[in-house]
Each structure stands twice: as structure tokens, then as C-alpha cells.
Amino acid sequence: MKYLVTGGAGFVGSNIAFALRRERKAEVTVLDDFSSGHFKNLSGFEGDVIGEDLLSPGWFAKVGKVDAVFHEAAVTDTTVMDQKKMMQVNVEGFKAVLAFAAQYGVKTVVYASSAGVYGNGKCPMTEDSAPEPENVYGFSKAIMDNVARDFASAHKDIALTGLRYFNVYGPGEAYKGKVASMMYQLYLQMKAGKRPRIFKFGEQMRDFVYIKDIVRANFNALDADGFGVCNVASGHPENFNKVVDCLNKAMGLDLAPEYIENPYAFYQNRTHADLRRAKTRLNYRPEWNLENGIADYVKELEKKL
């Protein structure tokens, strides 16, 4: 089997690329323009890497025939306010991937959508609820889902699955910098002996999901037929005080949070995924709760620092 991973030098993409090589012994091509991905995420990778932008001509032929595409390339910084850039990269880039799939007879496309489409919508968040994005990132992902639906109706020979990632954390995100998960940001603060800084009063809820569950959901999507958009999360939201507690336990520390003001007007105060569709379509059942995920992540981080 041969797979294409777009955005394969990024956080989620690199984890998928390595898992395809390790678990499926597959031939893997990474396509990434390295605008936010980092070559060190692919250190030791044994596949091909094409340094091209999705909107540049010529990458179709360089990639050639593949069995499936994992589309992870995107502007993932939710604080980016450049609406034109967000829509060009996320939406038009996705259209290019779908055009490639149609032209080269790709059997399956799995793409990254986002819980950002829900904004501060009603919890638990279901895939059938109307999108209420709070920023242009969430809006771009909602439009991607529309594009996917319309494409699937015209190309019934291609299986197409969108995965609405909730708050993903885990190894490989270090190069995201300021937009890396709070787990990583707080770990660095606590490792330096500082009190972890979180918004007042740490009660905002997030449906955190460990990267290993994200990879599993992507692999399960290879066996899904037709079209569908599914939430991918833990299904059990936790607050940021709990995150600090788990980090303290994993790191052997006892640092109290420092509460700060929240400067964001478009902040999601709670996310909570309804996972019924993911269980039905993908046979997805998360294996990592917050405490175990953070403990595993800290072990990986300690190896590198």
C-alpha cells in the first residue's frame, strides 16, 4: 500500500506518517511546504518528502498514484486573523487534494476537520448541529466539510471521512510554538520551576484527546465507506485545574496554578464531543484518559530534555 500524508512535517501528520511505516509497513510520501511543519518531526523517517505547497502546480505528478490520502496540511493557528490566507490554505488547498484524488483514482481520503466549527455551541457537540465558529479557522473547517460533502456526492467511488479533532496533545507538537497544546506549554513552565499560568480560574472545560487516539481514528477511517464527518475526542471533558494536577503527578511536583486574565474575546469555554457517530462509522473508542495520556506524554518529553 502507498499513502500520501499532506502536512506530514507537522504534529498530527508526522505521527500518522511514522505509524504508517511502523505498523503498516507501507510506502509513505509526505507533502509539506514547511511553513509551520519542521524537518525534525521527520527525523528518521524512511519515506519520500516533497517540499511543495498544495496550491503549487506540479505536485500531483511528483506524488503519483497512491491508495489513500491523509490530509493534515492547514493553517492551524486559531489566532490567525488573515481571513484570505486561512481560506486559501485550508479550503483551496483541500480542493486541490480532492482534485488530485479524483484525477489519480485514489480510493480513500481522510481529512482533518476541527471542533472549532462548533464555537461555543451546545454540549455535547454533535456532527449534525449547525456550525457556530468563533474565528476564521473554525469557519474554514466548516466550509471544508461542505466541500467534502459536495465532492462525495459527485464521486461515490471515493470514500471520504472528515475527522473533527478536539484538543489534541502529545509528542511531535513542540515545533508549533505558541500554538502547541496547553499540556506542552504548562510542562515547560513547570519544568523550569515556575507556577503554571492558566486563565481564571482554571474551570474552562476541554475535551482533550491524546495523539495516539487521533492516529488510531485515522487508521480506522481507512475502512469506512461513503462519506461522513466524525468527532474525534476522549468524550470526557476536563478542566485546566485537572491538567495541572495530572502534570504535577506525572512530574513529581506540587506547583499551584497562577491564574491570569483571558485576553481572547472568541474563546471556547467548553468543548465536549458526542462520539456516537465515531463509534458507529469508525469503531472508534478512545484508549487514553487525561491522566494516562499526560503521564505517557511526560515520559516522552523527559527522554528529549
Check whether residue 95 and residue 119 sit in a common domain: yes
Please tell me the predicted confidence (pLDDT) of residue 203. Answer: 95
- Assign 305 a pLDDT band (cuts: 50, 70, 90): low
Check whether residue 201 and residue 150 sit in a common domain: no
Query: Environment class of residue 141 by beta-carbon count within 10 Å: exposed (0-12), middle (13-18) or buried (19+)?
Result: buried
Cell readout for 119 is 464555537
Please tell me the predicted confidence (pLDDT) of residue 267. Answer: 78
Question: How confident is the model over 22-38, as pLDDT tens digits?
Answer: 999 999 999 999 999 99
Q: Containing domain of residue 264, as a range?
A: 174-205+237-269+296-304
Question: How confident is the model over 86-128, as pLDDT tens digits?
Answer: 999 999 999 999 999 999 999 999 999 999 999 989 999 999 9
* Structural domain total, the chain: 2
CA distance 94 to 114: 14
Check whether residue 121 and residue 194 sit in a common domain: no
CATH of the domain at 185: 3.90.25.10
Check whether residue 72 and residue 84 sit in a common domain: yes
Check whether residue 186 and residue 102 sit in a common domain: no
- Assign 57 a pLDDT band (cuts: 50, 70, 90): confident
- Assign 76 a pLDDT band (cuts: 50, 70, 90): confident
Please tell me the predicted confidence (pLDDT) of residue 264. Answer: 80
Question: How confident is the model over 117-167, as pLDDT tens digits?
Answer: 999 899 999 999 999 999 999 999 999 999 999 999 999 999 999 999 999
Check whether residue 241 and residue 101 sit in a common domain: no
Check whether residue 129 and residue 190 sit in a common domain: no
Check whether residue 6 and residue 104 sit in a common domain: yes
pTM as predicted: 0.96
CA distance 206 to 214: 16
CATH of the domain at 218: 3.40.50.720
CA distance 136 to 131: 12
Active site residues: 137, 176
Check whether residue 178 and residue 109 sit in a common domain: no
CA distance 242 to 79: 25
User: How many Cα atoms sit within 13 Å of 285 on the Cβ side?
Assistant: 2
